[in-house]
Structure 1
Amino acid sequence: MIDADDLLSLVRNYNPKTNEALLRGAHAYAKRMHEGQKRHSGEPYFTHPVAVAAILTEQRLDDATIATALLHDTIEDTKGTYTEIETLFGHDVAELVDGVTKLTNLELSSRESKQAENFRKLLMAMSKDLRVILVKLADRLHNMRTIRHMVPEKQAKKAHETMDIYAPLAGRMGMQWMREELEDLSFRVLNPEARTSIMRRFVTLQKESGDVIPRITEDIETVLEKHGLKADVFGRAKKPFSIWRKMQEKDLAFSRLSDIYGFRVITGTEDDCYRILGAIHQRWRSVPGRFKDYISQPKSNGYRSIHTTVSGRDGKRVEVQIRTRQMHDVAESGVAAHWSYRDGVRVQNPFAVDPAKWLEGLTERFENAEDNDEFLEHVKLEMYSDQVFCFTPKGDVVKLPKGATPIDFAYSIHTRIGHSCVGAKVDGLRVPLWTRLKNGQSIEIITAEGQTPQATWIDIAVTGRAKAAIRRMLREEDRERYIKLGRELARVAFDQVGKKATDKALDTAARAIGLKDGAEMLARIGSAELSGRSVVARIYPELARQNADSEVEAVRAVIGLPPGAEIRRAQCCQPVPGERIVGITYAGRGPIVHAIDCGALAAFDATPERWIDLHWTDGRHAAVHNVTIDVTLSNTNGALGRICTLIGEQNANISDLHFIDRKPDFYRLLIDVDVRNAEHLHAVMMAVELDSDVASLQRFRDVERRP
């Protein structure tokens, strides 16, 4: 266990002016509070908070954060209280400890909607003081380092939570080293066989070719010395999870994988960074498409560096990152660099990002999410995204996630530009809207008045902002269409009972159902959430009862059923009066009535004893026999409403609508219609088919549909 003197020594290495009394007091208080508690490993529990504090000293963080690390479990797991901590260690530390406690209580690995709700809370906690999440990340890192002592089920739960949330969050904050370690520790739990396999291949590779890292490091140092450039060169093999992910993404075997080694060149000035880049490219051939200049176009978390991949010794691809010392400090600490100390004073690093501005940039894209699933989608897109930098025709820079399309670019400029987008030019050439944008491209968006988003854009767009704007616009358009359709369906339903669907009647029915107004009710009828028949029943219950009585009469519409049996029509063929029918018996329940030409009857050829000869009664039947028709309709204004009117004019009721395929020019839907008999059905279908916007019409039959 790290004692107070050892911890203070770690802090003094970067902050000789540390508040020794504060840290000794926090160390002693936490040790006393956790006295007698054990970890899963059997070690004293206090080894954990002190290890978390030690991890944060590597980031050279301030005294309040180190004290919070020592105390972060006292409110949650001991008799310690917020008031006591505030009295002993001050308001700042007490607020930080309380924030970490609230984060600890969030179950971030639960079902999606709850996860999204808790992610909102996590971001709210971060917005108060980002140091809360720094302590929580260090806490999670130490827990993952010692996870082997937990039961397998809890290991898997923690590993999934870490991989899904904490690792990408660390990366988004610029703490790439922590992201890589968290991912690899989770990988060890979730897929130990794959990790072991990669480690074995590394060992085999080293036996065959030796340790290439010192040799390539020496090669780079020789080149720099030749050009009179001073810099420190560090090399390393990439983490097993990073290699495995690349193998999965590119579908490559380990033997075909390149650039599994990475090198960092740290120099004094920005000018030297570009000189070193030139020297390296003179010596080795660069790999096309693998150059990124994050110095001229830094990431939002302050990250600056030049990345290039070259074919080095023996043709091996190696990635080289070139940066200054100040850039490297931010690359290691990310947003945490804002609180870093050196020689007892806060480091004035020109590349450190203001945490408040960073968090505002992170969350502004989430504000328009209208439900939990949409919010969680936005968060994960932001957390996992790498960036590309594109230019407007005027030369302004637009930052987008990797894989973004012209649609994302259009919406990043303005929602109005996105909605009216009809095309795009990339570097002067017209390209499809699904084109993936690359670094440095110039994008021109072509717009047209009257254009609106297409449903297919949701699958093309990558950014949460674009997806949210598209969905919102489509919902508004759908609502208007559903209201128009619902009005037609309501009119037909009211006509069935001899009443008019006036605005007053609709508002009265809406209030009876518990909706705010008639428009909301019409929208729900149009989207098939409500039926016109159920609305009529709310305000004309006696008429609805008479209709129900006519449906009861339909039970007696078939002759040949066993005594007491009710008519049960097969949904595969939906027979109606006027069609030849047969019954199939089932043990323990009445027979099912099929049309004689139903394809499903072939399954009963070997059991003729189950067949019953049935036929419909003569005379007029009530319009209660539901039949599904399959309509392909032109996607033009008013077409669907006109079809509903045509069906109503034939005195047939529409009981349900279901869209099964939508395209910009046509859509296909299933309409459930209540008819009297085969002749009535024929009249309905004839009236619909004669409409010029109907491309095809047929009775829908499916042998997979069961009664």
Structure 2
Amino acid sequence: MKSAGLTSPYPTQQTPVFLVQGESDALTPEHRLLVNQAYADFSRMIEYLPEHDQQRVHTAFAFAERAHSGQYRNSGEPYITHPIAVAALCSQWHLDAPALMAALMHDAMEDCGVTRQDIEGLFGDDVAELVDGLTKLEKLEFHSREENQAQSFRKMLLAMAKDVRVILIKLADRTHNMRTLSVAPRNKWGRISRETLEIYAPISNRLGLNATYRELQELSFQHLHPWRYQTLSKAVEKVKSRRRGMADRIQAELEKAFAQRQLKVRLLEREQTLYKVYLQMTSKGLSFAKVSDIFGVQVLCDSVTDCYTGLGVVHQTYRPVPGYFKDYIASPKPNGYQSLHTSLLGPSSVEVEVELRTEMMHVVAETGIAAHWLYQSKGLDRMLADSLNGRWLESMLEIEHSSNDASDFLSDVKVDLHPESVYVFTPKNQIVTLPIGATVVDFAYAIHSNVGDHIAAAQVNGSVVSLRTILKNGDTIEILTSDDARPHPGWLEFVKTGRARSRIRNQLKNADQQETLGLGHKLLSQAMRVAGYADLPETSEFSQAVWQQLAVLHQGKSREQMLQEIGLGRMIASELVTQIGQLLQGMGLKPDALVLSKERLMTSGGAPVVLAVGGADGAPVRYAACCRPLPGDVIVGLLISGKGLEVHRKECSVAARRLKKDTSTAMPVEWSDEPVGDFEAAILLNLRNSKGALAEASAVIAQSEVNILRIDMLEEGRLEAIEIRITVALKDAEHLEQLLKSLRRVRAVQRVERYLAE
């Protein structure tokens, strides 16, 4: 889009009414009046900006109005009224001029064909970067709407990690869209509301934007469940009218108590949102009559000392409910929220929630990180840097670095959007904040990625614990590391933080790639020897020349990529060796008779060269889930396209069917002389349906030093016997046989055998 007619980013008019040069105003008089009034109101709201910055904002409005010329919202209003409303919401946080300019132009790149270069040329890189961070990825090709959404959030959240103004504008955009959702098609209400509840509301809460958080939840609830919202709204209104007198009495008695102690405070009535009331009813199975947390009182004090003094005053005025006191001043929430929370038994034994905080804490509680712009001159910057999610925002970049898939990235970020936390300590008494349910592994990754990658053991409060141990408030954790330790796939089942999850997934993926590369190298080396060639040294001239020519034959693939494809079964090693042999012979290098004779000697008598698996230095493989081979079983290897080498038991019917279709996929394998680690197996247990039978069998399994990984009830109900499939982890086939013998001695066990899928 060209910017004809805008020769300077700083026009002289105070509140411009933008007209395209050579054209008349396309709006009706009614719409023009509506736009002018909306922008005039906004202009008054930005008087906190210097005159020069106000002029820049006016220019951005002129540009945005022309960009959206001819566009209308579902309500029939000119589309430009939406950017004005978004910018007005941002101005309530006193955001700076570039942020307000970006708010006015936030849809220009997505909907109007405006390029980043257009914006950068007129308004500078800062504004262009903000608008670009807000722009969805509508022009890219995706396999599904979910992937499109994930990519959009990925871009937005990464831009947010670099500049928090992006998410503040985005939250203002979503807030106005939710306010006007009623005029959108009804079939869009559910999707947009769920997206708001899952992503935008938690982000606003995580950033401490409490007012925005409450409004987004309330609007989402209203459009997700309109009937429930209306019913609950009427019920709350009835309660308000009945309890009005009681609420006034409580507030009057508290004001009197504070005045008697000459404590200067400001009391505000806090009303619970309908969505929070609805959550209490559904999560706790309560009827509306049993929900007590509908009204509350906020006590704003002059100092932290007054907050604690005030707590004593309210406890002397009304009896506190045991177990409901929380001190978020000494231990702030991750979003910087600070208050003292207590619950009192008011008149007629009605519970009343009371929150005590300073005026500045109240600002932070309502506006969160936006308080940085609202109160820049009041010494809030340092507290914001320390408390208001700086660490969480930075973690977005780390999760992005570790997550190659946009859906994984969005999933990992969602994990970190929940504010409920536990506070634990390092051995040096440094506080670490983690989500509820976080484990020792989450703590290790919170300290440093390398600590998590190499965690070998841990102590909690001086006692050695399992890595899956869930941490509690006040725990002191010491991590023991080892250079040989590596992340385990099982960790993904219990870690809670997105940072840990993304790092583990990335490390496992890298490890798989290295294993696949190693397998490809072994398979190629074997095929080379069969053809009479020794391995090609990576640094030799022959090697470099050969791989360069192979790259031409294989669409530019590198040596590593071709080895990866061999390891994944997507490329046949012998076929690649045929090409290599032709290239080498063209260079005058023929098969080595000595290598060829040695290879024939080694393979004579029907004893083919085999790969060793299961050992510390064995070939990287996958063990088939259909038959779960164990060391001691006779095994066969199959090269599965896209998966690499897969090991089956020789008697496995699945392997037999695959080999019948294509015998070229067979790969001779054998167990290493010293298998390491645990291997999975499945047992089929026919158990008498009596009390304690399963517990007795589980105890025998535990005594056999076998870990239970999964239990599937194949038959249940009121039968005399039930059939259960148990997946276990053990050392080898002999270990399994010992387990089966032990289980056969259990009285409730009628039959037990190793399970093999058909």
Query: TM-score band (shorter)?
Result: 0.5 to 0.7
- The 5 A counterparts of 1:566-577 are none
1:630 equivalent to 2:665? Answer no
- 1:639/1:693 contact within 8 Å kept: no
Cα distance in 2 for partners of 1:537, 1:485 equals 16
- 2:399/2:409 contact within 8 Å kept: no
Q: Say which of 7, 30, 36 aligns to 2:42.
A: 7
- 2:93/2:374 contact within 8 Å kept: yes
Q: Say which of 121, 128, 139 aligns to 1:95.
A: 128
- 2:119/2:128 contact within 8 Å kept: no
Cα distance in 1 for partners of 2:305, 2:475 equals 25
- 1:633/1:667 contact within 8 Å kept: yes
1:467 equivalent to 2:464? Answer no
Measured against aligned partners, the alpha-carbon deviations of 1:75-107 in whole angstroms (never above 9, x if no partner) come to: 66669887887788x547853774476359689
TM-score (norm 1): 0.66
Cα distance in 1 for partners of 2:630, 2:246 equals 66
> 1:439 corresponds to which residue?
473
Task: Give the AA of the match of 2:384.
Answer: V
Cα distance in 1 for partners of 2:109, 2:570 equals 55
1:50 equivalent to 2:84? Answer yes
- 1:303/1:331 contact within 8 Å kept: yes
> 1:224 corresponds to which residue?
258
Q: Secondary structure of 1:384's match? A: coil
- Following superposition, the deviation at residue 268 of structure 1 comes to 1.3
Cα distance in 1 for partners of 2:143, 2:253 equals 47
TM-score (norm 2): 0.62
Task: Tell which deviates more after alignment, 278-287 or 500-509.
Answer: 500-509
- Following superposition, the deviation at residue 269 of structure 1 comes to 1.4
1:667 equivalent to 2:680? Answer yes
Q: Which runs of 5+ in 1 are unaligned?
A: 542-626, 658-662, 671-688, 703-707
> 2:172 corresponds to which residue?
138
Q: Secondary structure of 1:229's match? A: coil
1:243 equivalent to 2:277? Answer yes
> 1:530 corresponds to which residue?
569
Measured against aligned partners, the alpha-carbon deviations of 1:456-477 in whole angstroms (never above 9, x if no partner) come to: 2211111122223333444455
Cα distance in 2 for partners of 1:356, 1:232 equals 28
1:38 equivalent to 2:72? Answer yes
- Following superposition, the deviation at residue 398 of structure 1 comes to 1.0
Q: Say which of 253, 256, 278 aligns to 2:312.
A: 278
- Following superposition, the deviation at residue 403 of structure 1 comes to 2.4
The answer to which structure, 1 or 2, has the higher relative contact order (CA under 8 A, 6+ apart) is 1
> 2:440 corresponds to which residue?
406
- Following superposition, the deviation at residue 397 of structure 1 comes to 1.1
Q: Secondary structure of 1:337's match? A: helix
- Following superposition, the deviation at residue 140 of structure 1 comes to 1.9
- The 5 A counterparts of 1:231-630 are 231-284=265-318, 290-299=324-333, 301-340=335-374, 348-350=379-381, 353-354=384-385, 357=390, 359-419=393-453, 421=455, 424-428=458-462, 432-445=466-479, 451-475=485-509, 503=535, 516-517=558-559, 521=563, 525=567, 529-530=568-569, 534-536=572-574, 539=577, 630=627
> 1:168 corresponds to which residue?
202
- Following superposition, the deviation at residue 632 of structure 1 comes to 4.7
Cα distance in 2 for partners of 1:635, 1:395 equals 50
- 2:107/2:135 contact within 8 Å kept: no
- 2:133/2:155 contact within 8 Å kept: no
- 1:62/1:340 contact within 8 Å kept: no
> 2:617 corresponds to which residue?
none
> 1:565 corresponds to which residue?
none
Compared with structure 1, are the counterparts of its residues 53 and 517 closer, same or farther at alpha carbon in structure 2 (3 Å cutoff)?
A: closer
- Following superposition, the deviation at residue 25 of structure 1 comes to 5.8
Task: Give the AA of the match of 1:413.
Answer: I
Cα distance in 1 for partners of 2:517, 2:143 equals 40
Task: Give the AA of the match of 1:267.
Answer: C
- 2:460/2:476 contact within 8 Å kept: yes
1:158 equivalent to 2:189? Answer no
Compared with structure 1, are the counterparts of its residues 538 and 57 closer, same or farther at alpha carbon in structure 2 (3 Å cutoff)?
A: closer
Cα distance in 2 for partners of 1:423, 1:258 equals 45
Q: Which runs of 5+ in 2 are unaligned?
A: 1-33, 580-623, 639-644, 669-675, 684-730, 741-752
Give me the CA root mean square deviation. Answer: 5.1
- 2:337/2:365 contact within 8 Å kept: yes
> 1:679 corresponds to which residue?
none
Measured against aligned partners, the alpha-carbon deviations of 1:443-488 in whole angstroms (never above 9, x if no partner) come to: 3345678554443221111112222333344445556766787789
Task: Give the AA of the match of 2:679.
Answer: F
Compared with structure 1, are the counterparts of its residues 197 and 536 closer, same or farther at alpha carbon in structure 2 (3 Å cutoff)?
A: farther
Q: Secondary structure of 1:353's match? A: helix
Cα distance in 1 for partners of 2:736, 2:565 equals 23
1:178 equivalent to 2:212? Answer yes
Of all paired residues, the percent bearing the same amino acid is: 33
Task: Give the AA of the match of 2:216.
Answer: L
Task: Give the AA of the match of 1:353.
Answer: L
Q: Secondary structure of 2:300's match? A: strand
Count of residues in Structure 1 that have an aligned counterpart in Structure 2: 580
- 2:150/2:406 contact within 8 Å kept: yes
Cα distance in 1 for partners of 2:38, 2:308 equals 45
Cα distance in 1 for partners of 2:121, 2:405 equals 41
Task: Give the AA of the match of 1:7.
Answer: F
